[in-house]
Amino acid sequence: GNDRKGERSWRDAGRQDEKTDRTRWRMKNDGGVHTWHYLSEEEAARWPMSRADKWYLGMDTGAPTLPPPKTPLQAATNGFSFFSALQLPPGNWGCEYGGPMFLLPGLVITWYVTETPIPTSHAIEIKNYIFARQHPVDGGWGLHIEGESSVFGTAMNYTVLRLLGVDAEDPRLVKARETLWKLGGALNGPHWAKFWLSVLGVLHWDVVNPCPPELWLLPDWVPVAPWRWWIHMRQVFQPMSFIYSRRWSYPLNDLTRELRKELVPEPFDSINFDARRNTIAPTDNYHPKTWILRVLFWFLAWIWFPLLRTEGLKRRAEEHVWWLIEREDENTDYANLGPVNGPMNTLVSYIKLGPDSVPFKEHLKTLPEFLWMNKEGMLMNGTNGVQVWDTAFTIQAANDCGFTADPKWHKTLTKALEFLEDHQIRAECREQAKCYRQQRKGAWGFSNRKQGYTVSDCTSEGLKSVLILQKHPSGAYPQLVPDERLKDAIDVLLTMQNPSGGCASYEPTRGSELLEYLNAAEVFGKIMVEYDYPECTTAVITGLHLFQKYYPDYRTEEIRRFKERAINYIRRAQRPDGSWYGAWGICFTYATWFALESLACAGETYANSERVRRACLFLLGHQMEDGGWGETYRSCEIGEWCQHEKSQVVQTAWALVGLLEAEYPEKEPIKKGIRLIMERQQANGEWLQEAIEGVFNKSCMISYPNYKFIFTIKALGMYAKRFGDEEIL
């Protein structure tokens, strides 16, 4: 999805780069835990490549040419033939989950400073990936693969290449340095860049805005206490504050001494680090720090840390944070919440317990679960996979096509059900309250059971998909998830509603939006607390709705009240132009589809609802000449529709699903979009990758490569159900 033009000759140097043999890479799926392995030739001969491996690696999958489809359902059948052949043995689907360009640096710096040997195969392919993602014109890197070059992206990825042995005089690095220096160098980086470079010993800790672990000692009633923050922020802040408190740095060596000269234009000894804590390039300053935060940092840096903080307090704070990190490790079996706190917790266990300790070694074993191989090389995923999420949506898309009733697909769908059964979370966390964890028995997370974090919409989508199969009128599917466990899922969902009626992602909102004044990350927006999301709220509404169809007597009144309040939130969240803003997919097409599904669930359609009509008009107002829809990721950043120059199959499918949910009366515009989806399909049933699909924190994009199958198939099926499976091509 990267359409930059203007290759320059400085990139040609890359042609001599080392490569690994693509035919020797395998993805191992151990009950939903994904790791990549580079095999010896003998091993490779014994372990054949799957079609999925080939597809992940961008190789010819050998998928057969299919009879050319004429109708939507024929196209959906071809699409599902291709996609079902990518199903993995435990029953789930896999994919790269790249996009963010700030994740590998945390991992590679952690490996480097803990002197962990990096397998040659991995080192080679990480370099290849980073070079492949270098901006073709200015030689820098951005926050994400489609973003403009920034200090964060450029300084961090440059550092990784150097740590992995690339020569400073490689023309591609010379070019990157030019861009970095133009942006003012690493001292103009955001907080997280300054943090990691101080860990590495390249910058001095004085340049890092203070992260006091003492915050974790605040009583729970305090409005800013960290347990109230969005889970990703507080789980990152934990290890970050521990490491900050120790001011731990890797001892200076020749390479890091060189990096000081390469990353920073000024002579190192002349730098006043304290004065550079708040300097930041405009490219990195998505959410500028507020004056309140600056005053707070000033107080912490000049008064609290040097003058007031006692040894005893420091020790107590570090001990408590360490205890919380131990709980995180225990409750996730070292998988950890995500790819930022994973490496940081690894480093904390190294600092605290040393290289021979069990936790440190367990972390090293687990970290590779974040890595992924694609045709460009090795990248780091945004989570330890997209297993549950994609599998649940695949079942729903198949159902919208009526494939659930077709014996031809029973095996595939039963496998998918087995996977969901296996990955429902079965028990609460130990010390749940003390480590501030949300209820999770009965929930589904986004990736696998091991990671173990409740997500509101993942729980709902998982529940819906299980119900669709287990309650299928054909009786063709085994009853793998017993009633009790379905009710556990409902119990979790019923804890997820905010006073507003809406639902957030991992937990109900615990703190005030004013906490955004303390957002210190600079590169992201809306990160400090949970918010209401139309996407998550819709999933929960429709999950509760489907459940009630089969279990009308379970917690009836609570569910009814929940749904009513949730729908009212959806109504209120509509923008004056008729759309909804999407926080997890790009952007208005994504959330508007969800909201229309909620309203349909409440009986509101085009025929009887003014707000549904406004939403349809919004969507139709953005339909392109060719019948498709396309918005760029800028929509997410600025909160206004930004037109893509090319229509996108995924957004086209979202918009169509929205119009179909709304029962928009005219067939022609919908048919035009369906035709576009059918025309973009390849002879083997596949759709090709287009622009990036997902987003988080408003500014960072993330890939959902399976969406081009899931939502196209869903739209085709819904169209056929509504208008009949007529010939379109």
Give min distance, CB of 107 to ligand LAN, in A.
12
Residues found near ligand LAN in the complex (CB under 6 A):
232, 236, 338-340, 382-383, 389, 446, 455, 457-458, 505, 524, 535-536, 584, 696-697, 702
Give min distance, CB of 526 to ligand LAN, in A.
11
Euclidean distance between the first and final Cα of the chain, in Å? 27
Based on CB atoms, which residue is closest to ligand LAN, 112 or 444? Answer: 444
Question: How many CB atoms are located within 10 Å of the residue 37 CB?
Answer: 16
Based on CB atoms, which residue is closest to ligand LAN, 73 or 193? Answer: 193
Give min distance, CB of 231 to ligand LAN, in A.
9
Contact 715, 660 (CB under 8 A): yes
DSSP per-residue codes, 371-413? EEE-SS-EEE-SSS--HHHHHHHHHHHHHHTTGGG-GGGHHHH
Q: Which two tokens stand for residue 83?
A: 């996609």
Based on CB atoms, which residue is closest to ligand LAN, 616 or 701? Answer: 701
Beta strand pairing call for 33-38 and 25-30 = antiparallel
Based on CB atoms, which residue is closest to ligand LAN, 82 or 584? Answer: 584
Residue 501 DSSP one-character state: S
DSSP per-residue codes, 409-424? GHHHHHHHHHHHHHHS
Give min distance, CB of 32 to ligand LAN, in A.
16
Quote the CA–CA distance of 446 and 457 in Å, as a whole number.
Answer: 9
Contact 507, 440 (CB under 8 A): no
Secondary structure string (H, E, C) spanning 250-289: CCCCHHHHHHHHHHCCCCHHHCCHHHHCCCCCHHHCCCCC
Based on CB atoms, which residue is closest to ligand LAN, 176 or 455? Answer: 455
Based on CB atoms, which residue is closest to ligand LAN, 578 or 582? Answer: 582
Give min distance, CB of 656 to ligand LAN, in A.
20
| CA angle centred on 228, ends 570 and 501, rounded to 5° | 20
Based on CB atoms, which residue is closest to ligand LAN, 529 or 678? Answer: 529
Based on CB atoms, which residue is closest to ligand LAN, 341 or 470? Answer: 341
Based on CB atoms, which residue is closest to ligand LAN, 229 or 477? Answer: 229
Q: Which two tokens stand for residue 251?
A: 């001892």
Query: Which residue is catalytic, options 53, 457, 488, 532?
Result: 457
Residue with tokens 């025309």: 679
Based on CB atoms, which residue is closest to ligand LAN, 338 or 627? Answer: 338
Query: Which candidate, 648, 615, 616, 603, places its Cα nearest to that of 630?
Result: 648
Give min distance, CB of 623 to ligand LAN, in A.
25
Based on CB atoms, which residue is closest to ligand LAN, 389 or 593? Answer: 389
* Residue 719, SS3 per DSSP: helix
Based on CB atoms, which residue is closest to ligand LAN, 421 or 461? Answer: 461
Based on CB atoms, which residue is closest to ligand LAN, 228 or 232? Answer: 232
Give min distance, CB of 240 to ligand LAN, in A.
11
Give min distance, CB of 700 to ligand LAN, in A.
7
Give min distance, CB of 198 to ligand LAN, in A.
19
Give min distance, CB of 98 to ligand LAN, in A.
11
Question: How many CB atoms are located within 10 Å of the residue 674 CB?
Answer: 28
Quote the CA–CA distance of 397 and 653 in Å, as a whole number.
Answer: 11
- Neighbouring residues of 447: CB distance < 8 A, sequence distance ≥ 6: 32, 383, 384, 385, 386, 387, 388, 389
Give min distance, CB of 453 to ligand LAN, in A.
8
Give min distance, CB of 607 to ligand LAN, in A.
30
Report helix, strand and coil shares of the chain as percent, to nearest 5: 55, 5, 40
Residue with tokens 């290759």: 7
In what helix (H) or strand (E) does residue 701 lie, and over which residues does it extend? strand 700-702
Query: Which candidate, 223, 279, 208, places its Cα nearest to that of 518?
Result: 223
Query: Which candidate, 126, 131, 159, places its Cα nearest to that of 7?
Result: 131
Amino acid identity of residue 368, one-letter, is P
- Neighbouring residues of 110: CB distance < 8 A, sequence distance ≥ 6: 116, 343, 344, 346, 347, 367
Secondary structure string (H, E, C) spanning 66-119: CCCCCCHHHHHHHHHHHHHCCCCCCCCCCCCCCCECCHHHHHHHHHHHCCCCCC
Contact 277, 207 (CB under 8 A): yes
Residue 373, phi then psi, degrees to nearest 5: -105, 130
Contact 454, 442 (CB under 8 A): no
Question: CA-CA distances (angstroms) from residue 295 to 204, 206, 298, 511?
Answer: 21, 16, 5, 21
DSSP per-residue codes, 626-675? TS-EEE-THHHHHSS--EEEEEEHHHHHHHHHHHHHTT-S-SHHHHHHHH
Quote the CA–CA distance of 686 and 590 in Å, as a whole number.
Answer: 22
Question: CA-CA distances (angstroms) from residue 591 to 570, 585, 638, 653?
Answer: 10, 8, 15, 13
Residue 168 DSSP one-character state: T
Give min distance, CB of 350 to ligand LAN, in A.
20
- The reply to whether 457 belongs to the active site is yes
Quote the CA–CA distance of 548 and 555 in Å, as a whole number.
Answer: 9
Report the catalytic residues. 457
